[in-house]
Amino acid sequence: MQFGGYSGQAYSPAGDKGRFVLPPVFRKALKESSDGRVLCLMKHNKWDCLVGFGLSRKEELNDQLDREEEMAVRLGRDFDRDTRASQLFGFIEMPFDDSGRFVMPEHLRALGKIEDGLYFQGGGRFFTLWNPAELAKMDDEWAGAKAACESFLAEAKAKGK
């Protein structure tokens, strides 16, 4: 079956021992993309969030690196392939269990400003993982994601009572 990308939204509160849980829709897509239970995570290059994806994206990242180098050459711009490769391939591969539980390394929690919960937003080739407070700071182009996140937070709060 061909990998169809990441779509949807979900919220996961932080669990015990610093664990988080991948929501079922993202867990299923990751299993398809990684041919198993591997989550690749890194800091987003522009936003204060993390980016998640499966192992199938490695080939796409190699293609992206080639395109960026080709464009730089065409435009007569400097291009440091080694630096850019380090940026694109600086992700961490981590396992998750059948229930979707995974432990996020502290440095990623700090880079993504992750505290007591994760909001997941599908993005096609990847998905983003947000601290809801950081997502709330985004502009109106993020209105749909912010509304979904607020709804999930209200639901989680109601379950907690």
The pLDDT tens digits for 60-110 are 888 999 999 999 999 999 999 999 998 888 899 999 999 999 999 999 999
Q: Is 18 in contact with 1 (CB distance < 8 Å)?
A: no
Q: Is 134 in contact with 149 (CB distance < 8 Å)?
A: no
The pLDDT tens digits for 17-36 are 778 999 999 999 999 888 78
User: Is it the case that residue 37 has pLDDT exceeding 80?
Assistant: yes
CATH assignment of 9-56+91-160, given 3.40.1550.20, 3.40.640.10, 4.10.95.10, 2.60.40.150? 3.40.1550.20
Enumerate the domain spans of the chain. Answer: 9-56+91-160
Q: pTM, whole model, 2 decimals? A: 0.88
